[in-house]
Structure 1
Amino acid sequence: MSGAGECGPRGPGRGTSPQLGANAPPSCAGPGPPRGLRTLGGAVGAALLGTLWLLWLLRAHPGAAPAPQPALTILVWHWPFAEHAPELPRNTCASFGVAGCRLSTDRRLLAQADAVVFHHRELQTRRAQLPLAERPPGQPWVWASMESPSHTHGLGRLRGVFNWVLSYRRDADVHVPYGRLEPRPGPPPPLPPKSALAAWVVSNFQERQRRVQLFRELRRHLRVDVFGRANGRPLCAACLLPTLGRYRFYLAFENSQHRDYITEKFWRNALLAGAVPVALGPPRAAYEAVAPPDAFVHVDDFASPRALAAFLAGMNDTLYRRHLAWRTRLRVRLFGDWRERFCAICTRYPHLPRGQVYQDLEGWFLA
């Protein structure tokens, strides 16, 4: 008599299926139910298992939301231009419309932070040091700066350190402009009455700057009212926009000319104030990438400062209103808060390249 181990085929080991041929011995279980019942039973069983699996996934609560993902932690190693960081409650980024993001300046979080951001000015002045010896393997480090290359030094010693860049440059990993135009939800506010022609606010006045050279030539043919510390006429924060709004034009002259370097001089002092910016900075194409082509006057469009002055002084009201037509459909949004800038790292985080390293950060920034 055959033993229990001799009933049915002898199959191969665990994880594979036995190859049943025509000469395979019969099973010891007997003939079994008819084929139709076997098929129906299999379908019912599969449906039952599927239902149980779905209930398990939903934790027996149909319609339950997926479990929330843990918040990203962005460690700010040194707050820009400050001895002490501002208060950073857990809803800091949520207040800027960025969910699941936590900013902190607690350096004890270095080992667990999802990314660490370093502002360059503090590295440049040696007020902050890179914690290279304590850096966790694979942790992304972010280099942050809103200054132009002319005012950025010491990049040569940062080779092979940073994975991502936060900058005004449009090709930065985390692009943070000084401002941008957004659709206007309602009618624009009325323009302030215009009582003067051109204004300029300047604190850093150096003869070697192109903007100073252009100003000296321009004022021979055009009256320009100058404000700021360089002229002994500083404007308080609450006075800035009302004062500049009285002028038809504002000299949005950048302190240096570099790729995509368009600062608050263009966005706040001119567009937001309600004046037409006279732009000196990157080429016209860079401005047209962020604003309508008729929203500003570019100095490169004129053969000389005298020609520019004649154009501004001779502009009639019809042409002037054309330069302000964008205000009916667009509004200015400024990005001047470092908290909002750092929260943008979380917005871009899922899309940022892993394993990327800037071997020549200086070469990239000077390009």
Structure 2
Amino acid sequence: MRKINTFLPKLKWFIIGCFAMYCLVQYAPGKQYVKESLRNERVWPLWVHRSLVKEKEDEENSALGVEFAPMGAPPFFVEEVMTSSPIKLMERLKCRARINEPPKLILSWNAGHSQANLGGCPDWNCRLTHDKTKLARADAILFAHVDTTLNRTVNQYFVHFSQESPVNSKAPVPYADFFNMSLGYRHDTTFSSPYGYTVKLARRSHRTGEIVDKKRLEGKIKGAAWFVSHCDTNSKRESYVKQLQEHFHVDVYGSCGKLKCQRGGACENMLDEQYHFYIAFENSVCKDYITEKLWNQGYRRDIVPIVMKRAIVEQLVPPKSFIAADDFNTTKELATYLHYLMRNKSAYAEFFEWRREYKVVFLDGAHHDTLERPWGFCQICRLLWEEPRPVLSISDFNKWWDSSCEKDGELTNRLLGDEMVS
């Protein structure tokens, strides 16, 4: 009797175990179903997925980062992008593209561009076309100039595109919420397409040792260089530079000066070898509007850029990597500081220390690779695959766009004060 009482509970658990195993075999999805599910939805690019797995395996290292592998350059690992937008890097890289479905269609109505502009995300299943006969089935329509004859459907996005400031690119709309979003240099919209951006490097990509050639810095003998082609601007930057020249040597290259240097030519190497500073002033003073020359000449060379207004660039560029004109009461005060840095090369060299933990990426518009993935057309593509598709609108586009700039010469007049330009 005692043996029977001991055996019955064991038999009960054996039967329960067999039943559970039967259910798992009977109702589990087949291999073909699993394969179809994986094939139908691509949630993460492979190179991002690998980084996530590694982060989970090593909780002590919270900054392993995401690998960026640009064409013709060594890969590097990124912890985060510097932006005023709340959208973080990992969210920007997460696209729920389904490759067994028709591609999402972006129609460039009058803004140019081509399929090459999606070169940063070829695996996200989007297409860019100029064929206006496909208007009805387009998911997003891109405008450089407003076409008031068009009305969007409930499932379409109207996207404003401009790399120019409102001062040089007027875009009046027929009604307040004509555009769902804007694609350009501003970071306070759904996505942006800047001339360049800054990344905070993951720890594994931090640089050690000599960060800049000290002999090169020691060999610099000239003050500042300025490459400029627009001579009469809304910002009146030319007036500020003219007054600065009363106290500090600035060589002006291009149609606004006597010196010449072809864009992209070998002569630009003199920025590395001869000049201490590069003037990176915008033609208009507007929110987030940063000249491409800051990203290109200012940060790709061994030179320290001088910007007009700290508040415009501070959130978007590496810390202690630039000098802001509006930090100084007068041009003479700025000139005194620049002369000090020229005499004290150790203090000057500190402006390159940011390279240890940050990297600046210049988007030249000619090379379309993984560096463009967190921005521009790839971000339109990512959004089009969201389900449900977000309802987006710029409630008063004219106000949002036109009120983002200072009045003509406002900053320059404030900086110059009583200084007189001779």
Task: Provide the TM-score with structure 2 as the length reference.
Answer: 0.64
**Aligned counterparts of 2:377 and 2:245: Cα–Cα separation in 1:** 40
**Aligned counterparts of 2:234 and 2:223: Cα–Cα separation in 1:** 26
User: Where does residue 149 of structure 1 map in the other structure?
Assistant: 166
**Aligned counterparts of 1:141 and 1:116: Cα–Cα separation in 2:** 5
User: In structure 2, which of residues 345, 354, 361 is the aligned counterpart of residue 333 of structure 1?
Assistant: 361
User: In structure 1, which of residues 164, 177, 197 is the aligned counterpart of residue 223 of structure 2?
Assistant: 197
* TM-superposed deviation, 1:104: 2.0
**Contact 2:198/2:318 (8 A) holds in 1:** no
How many residue pairs end up in the alignment? 313
* 3-state secondary structure, aligned to 2:381: helix
**Contact 1:251/1:278 (8 A) holds in 2:** yes
User: Where does residue 71 of structure 2 map in the other structure?
Assistant: none
User: Where does residue 55 of structure 2 map in the other structure?
Assistant: none
* TM-superposed deviation, 1:214: 0.5
**Contact 2:234/2:283 (8 A) holds in 1:** no
CA distance 1:318–1:111, change in 2 (3 Å): same
**Contact 1:98/1:343 (8 A) holds in 2:** no
**Contact 1:156/1:360 (8 A) holds in 2:** no
**Contact 2:237/2:283 (8 A) holds in 1:** yes
User: Where does residue 28 of structure 2 map in the other structure?
Assistant: 54
Is 1:304 the counterpart of 2:330? The answer is: yes
CA distance 1:106–1:265, change in 2 (3 Å): same
* TM-superposed deviation, 1:231: 2.5
CA distance 1:171–1:95, change in 2 (3 Å): closer
**Aligned counterparts of 1:351 and 1:285: Cα–Cα separation in 2:** 37
CA distance 1:63–1:162, change in 2 (3 Å): closer
* TM-superposed deviation, 1:359: 3.6
User: Where does residue 265 of structure 2 map in the other structure?
Assistant: 238
Unaligned runs of 5+ in 2: 1-13, 42-97, 405-422
**Contact 2:140/2:158 (8 A) holds in 1:** yes
User: Where does residue 379 of structure 2 map in the other structure?
Assistant: 344
* 3-state secondary structure, aligned to 1:150: coil
* TM-superposed deviation, 1:343: 2.4
**Aligned counterparts of 1:147 and 1:357: Cα–Cα separation in 2:** 21
**Contact 1:254/1:265 (8 A) holds in 2:** no
* TM-superposed deviation, 1:204: 0.7
* TM-superposed deviation, 1:311: 0.9
User: In structure 2, which of residues 218, 236, 244 is the aligned counterpart of residue 218 of structure 1?
Assistant: 244
Counterparts of residues 1-367 of structure 1 (less than 5 Å): 48=22, 51-56=25-30, 58-59=31-32, 65-68=38-41, 69=98, 70=101, 71-80=103-112, 85-86=113-114, 88=115, 93-96=118-121, 99-119=124-144, 122-123=145-146, 129-130=147-148, 132-133=150-151, 135-157=152-174, 159-182=176-199, 183=201, 190=213, 193-206=219-232, 209-231=235-257, 233-239=260-266, 241-245=268-272, 246-281=274-309, 284-315=310-341, 316-337=344-365, 340=372, 341-349=376-384, 350=386, 354-365=390-401, 366-367=403-404
**Aligned counterparts of 1:60 and 1:208: Cα–Cα separation in 2:** 62
User: Where does residue 29 of structure 1 map in the other structure?
Assistant: none
* 3-state secondary structure, aligned to 2:394: coil
Q: Higher relative contact order at CA 8 Å, sep ≥6: structure 1 or structure 2?
A: 2
Counterpart amino acid of residue 203 in structure 1 = S
**Aligned counterparts of 2:352 and 2:221: Cα–Cα separation in 1:** 16
**Contact 1:178/1:334 (8 A) holds in 2:** yes
CA distance 1:359–1:288, change in 2 (3 Å): closer
Task: Provide the TM-score with structure 1 as the length reference.
Answer: 0.73
Rg larger in structure: 1
- The percentage of aligned residue pairs carrying the same residue is 28
Q: CA RMSD in A?
A: 3.4
